[in-house]
Structure formats: structure tokens, C-alpha cells
Chain A
Amino acid sequence: MTSDVKLLDICNVAVGIKRRKRETLVIVREANFDVNYGEMVGIVGESGSGKTMICRAIIGTLERRGASVIGGEVLFEGLDLRTINEAKWKTLRGKVIGYVPQSALAGPNPVLTIEKQLAEALSQVEGTGSMKNRSKELLDLVKIRRVDTVMKQYPYQLSGGMRQRVMIACALASKPKLLIADEPTTGLDVTVQSQIMELLREIRRDLGTAIILISHDLALVDEVCDKIVVMHAGATVEVGPTASMAKPRHPYTVALNSSRIDVAKPGGELLIIKGNPPSVGQWNPGCRFAERCDYVQQDCLVGDHPALSGKKSEHQSACLHSDKIGKI
């Protein structure tokens, strides 16, 4: 039984920044993927691929950076987020859609104790019981022990992993339907990383929250997500169920796969992707991966960037020659 309305449907979304003199810097050209209720979706891409911008579009924080959705539809439970006003955003952001920022960048407010931090998040939501108890419940949810001690501490007294857990707790205060985790473990030790991933899996299982996990690490996403979205130079180049993605159909995914340390032979051949990801806005005609592609053909260099083949929810690829992959 499939539900007609998806939790989140990103259709041909483009995001740009308006510069002076009517110039628009296009950061995301074509993002395409969807998220079903309770699904864990991983978005993988290098810096400049547009993966963070897309998430800002979903959570509505583009305006602050002078950016806006300039094309396509961002449908949340059927509602086009392009059309809503700030008042409506306030009912969604932090309530139905939660956000956990990158571990290295933001973090809990340094001048508030954890207790105050959680109280702030909880004050936006209705609930039963005292603020203190509700806060403790949240800390339990993210598997923080010694709850009483932690409540009274300041962020600087906690480790990176603990701080991330607190951020996740704040995001979960409203029991959101969708949680966006933007590189939640970058910069943290692998041991902490695996704990946080386990935590996200449990949250998904126990609360039914759909999770979007943004990462540059394909190995990580491969392990925990139901569906993988691969972004390159502002466009979705491949998307599909994780199992199916084990046989990638786009040269970029193939290259990412081949550069994974976990599948490389020690001291052996490690395929790297030629060149560097194109800088934002500096895109050549044709397929934007063409100059780094091992399978490039003549028709890849001209015309528009190839569109995603197939239907949503299947394994789609934006390569004109996906049939040739693996046969070279």
C-alpha cells in the first residue's frame, strides 16, 4: 500500500543567489529526489555539489543568505514550500521539520546550560509534565547517561559527540516528521560517528522520523540509509534504493565507490576522481562531470546537462551512457 502523498518531494529544484545588477548565481540547478515517511535518505556529494543548499531550501533558511528557490517545487506533504509565508514557516521549522547542523560548525549556545538549551527547544512545543522531566526524557532519547550532571553543564564541558547528541535532542523536542542531519559527524572520531549513526537508526525505528543524512562519505551513507541521492555540481546525478546503488549507473557514483577506503586493498590501487569539483556557477555546457569522467563520449560535452532517466522511487541516473558503465 503506497501513500499518495510523499513526506517530501523535491522536483527539479533550482536554488540561486541574487547578486547585484540582476545577476543570479545558480548554486543548485536540478535537484530531484523524494523522501517517504519514516525513510532514511542519504545525500552524498562533494563540497559545492549543492547538498547543503537543498536542505536550507527545505528548512526555509535560504532568505537569510540572500538565496532563494528559483525553479521547481519543494513539496512537503503536498504543500509547496515556495509559496508559504514566514508565519507558516514558523509552524513547520523546528516543529515538523527538524535540523541538526554540522558538528564542527554550530553547536549548542555556549552561554546556556544544557538544561536551558533543552527548555528553549521544548518551550516551542506543547507537552505534559515539568520542563525538567521533559528535558531529561529528551536526553534519555539520545542515550546520554548521567542526565542530572549533564543538565547543569555548559557546552564547553562536553565532548564533540555529546554536543551533537544535545543538538539532536533539541531537534527532536517537537517529535518532527522529518529530521535533516547536515554532516552530523564530520570531524568527530569514527567511534563517536558510529554511535551517532546507531542513534539515528534508533530514532527512526522508535519515533518513525524520516531522516535526511547529508554526507560526503559514501561508505557511511551506504551503511545506514534506505535510499541514496548523489549530487554533483548542483544536480542530482543518481538516486535509488541503497541495495540497487551497489551497482551504480553514473560514472560519478562509480568513481566515488572506487575511491572508498573501506573497499580498497591495503596499499593497492585507489581510484581517484580526476580534477576538482567545479566551482559554484562555473559550469561548462553539456554534462558537468564530463571533464572528470572516464566514460566520456562526444555527445556528453554539448547541450544541456542530462536529465534523470526513469521514474522516481526507482534507480535513476543522469548519464547518457549509463548502459556502458562497468563494461569498459
Chain B
Amino acid sequence: MSKKVRAEGTFGIIIGAAMMLALLLAGLLIPWFGKYGANEISADQLMSPSRDHFFGTDMLGRDVFARVFDAVFVDIGTAFTGVLIPLAVGTIIGTLLGISRNRRVNSFIGSLIDGINAFPFLIFVIALVAFLGAGLGSIILALSLVNWARYARIARTRAVVVNQQGYVEAARTLGYKPSRILFRHIIPNVSSETRAYALSDFIIVIIAVAALSFLGLGVNPPQAEWGAMIKDGANIITLAWWAAVFPGLAICWAGISVAVFSEGLTKRIGEGNQQ
């Protein structure tokens, strides 16, 4: 056997995962062990970054460093849930649609999916959140209601193909129960596509969550959250650039880590598929 060569894409996978893990770890540890609380108001308003306040302080004298990392789980957590739910729901509904032979159901839900997908994502979400009332819960709900259709469309197309594959027919011929065929054979092969989409969707949703908060539709103050912090900081950007820039960098960091990871993964899978 030739010397083991490191598979392509490993670099990306490791770097991306490391970046995200670092962020999450910081989000866990800094609120516990950091010098300042995220909501600690002080008289040291708008101080520029220093050894005491790494990222400076905001208009209310709160330590930006502490706030940026306090927001990690809020932003990433919301984004994660906002991807996970549509992924699960969309994959299952799309798959069921793809394998169903009931023309009426197919056509009805199919139109629903196409209808939802026709709307520009962000605008639809903003409208829904505005309707449901601001808050993280609403954001997650709105994302779920809109995004499931995108996953469903991918899942449906793929399910049609998978359903016709020899191994699914073989499973039927072998007398496997329909539930087994669905969950062990069809869905895993359909979800490979939807999971790939989820990774790139994650990046978009991270930004969407921040954007919604920027518009005032997200968290309630005083909870730290990147979008809200940028909104507050935007007003004073010339006075105190650090208040808006650092949360912005955090969003970039999160997005880049997922992007790099996803690239590495694609390369890895791509190599496996080369015959």
C-alpha cells in the first residue's frame, strides 16, 4: 500500500471546526470567567480598547468584549435551531412528497412549497417576525415557517431519484417494512443533499438573525446580541468604532468558520466520488 496521503480537504475541515469550537468555547468560558459582566453598566462610557477592556466599552459603559462573547450562544444557538428545524421538517416532508404517488397531495403541497419559495427569503421572514412580534422565539418560528420549503424542494427532487434506485427496489423486493425503507434507505440518501445545503444555509441564517435584531425585531435589551450591538454602535460609529466593529467581526468569524469547514467537506466528498 502506498504511503497514506492526507485526504484533500482535511485542512479546511480542521480549520473551520477549530474556529467554530474556539468561538463556542469562548462563548462558554468568558461569561463565567471574564472580568466584567455583559450587562454591567459603568461610568466608563465609550472607552477605546485597552488592556482593561479588550474591546472597549459601549454607550452604557458595558464591556464590549464581555458582551460579544455573551452573545455567542444567543446568535449561534438561534441560527442553529433556525436551520435544524427546517432541515428536519423539510427533509421529511420533501421525501414523503417525492415518494408519494398520491397526485392530489403531491400537487397541493408541491404548490405550497413553490409558493413559499417564490418569496424572497429575508423579506418574508422579516414580515413574519413583525407579525408575530419581536423576539428570538419568533425569529426561530419565522425561519422554520419559511425555510422548510427550501429544504423540502431539494429533498423532493432527490427523493424521486433515490426512490427509483436499485437498492430501494431491492429493499422492497426483500420485503423490508416501508418504515425501514424510508428511514434507513431513502432518507439517509436524501438528507446527504439537504445537509449539504444546511451548511451554506447556516451562514445565511447567522447573518439573518443578526439582521433581524439590527432591525429591532430580535432580542429584548439588555441581552447582548451581535445585531443589536451593531445597531447601537452604528449611531456612534465615528465616536466609538469598536462598539459596532467587534460584534461585526464576530459574525464574520462565525460565517467564515462554517464556510471553510463546508469547503473542506466538499473537497473531501468530491475526492471520494472520483472514480
Contact = CB atoms under 8 A, between A and B. Distances in A.
A23 B1 contact: no
B270 to A, nearest CB: 13
Contacts of B8: 20
B174 interface: no
A86 B3 CA distance: 34
Interface in B1-59: 1-3, 5, 8
Contacts of B1: 282
B7 to A, nearest CB: 10
Contacts of A23: 2-3, 5
In this complex, the interface size class of chain B, counting residues with CB under 8 Å from chain A, is under 10
A47 to B, nearest CB: 9
A19 interface: yes
Nearest to A282: B1
A23 to B, nearest CB: 7
A281 interface: yes
Interface string A1-27: 000000000000000000111010100
Interface in A271-289: 281-282
B5 A282 contact: no
Nearest to A279: B1
Contacts of A282: 1-2
A234 to B, nearest CB: 14
A261 to B, nearest CB: 24
Nearest to A281: B2
A35 B2 CA distance: 35
Contacts of A21: 5
Interface in A153-184: none
A136 B3 CA distance: 55
A7 to B, nearest CB: 31
Interface in A16-71: 19-21, 23, 25
A20 B10 CA distance: 13
B202 to A, nearest CB: 29
Nearest to B2: A281
Interface in A250-269: none
B165 to A, nearest CB: 17
Nearest to A25: B2
Contacts of A281: 2
A20 B5 contact: yes
A25 B8 CA distance: 15
Contacts of A19: 5
A81 to B, nearest CB: 25
Nearest to B6: A20
A282 B5 CA distance: 14
A20 B1 CA distance: 17
A183 to B, nearest CB: 14
A105 to B, nearest CB: 11
A66 to B, nearest CB: 11
A309 B2 CA distance: 30
Contacts of B5: 19-21, 23
A25 B3 CA distance: 11
A248 to B, nearest CB: 30
Contacts of A20: 5, 8
A25 B1 CA distance: 12
Interface of A: 19-21, 23, 25, 281-282
11 contacts: A19-B5, A20-B5, A20-B8, A21-B5, A23-B2, A23-B3, A23-B5, A25-B2, A281-B2, A282-B1, A282-B2
Given A23-B3, A282-B1, 8 more contacts: A19-B5, A20-B5, A20-B8, A21-B5, A23-B2, A25-B2, A281-B2, A282-B2
The 7 closest A-B pairs by CB, nearest first: A281-B2, A19-B5, A23-B5, A282-B1, A20-B5, A21-B5, A282-B2
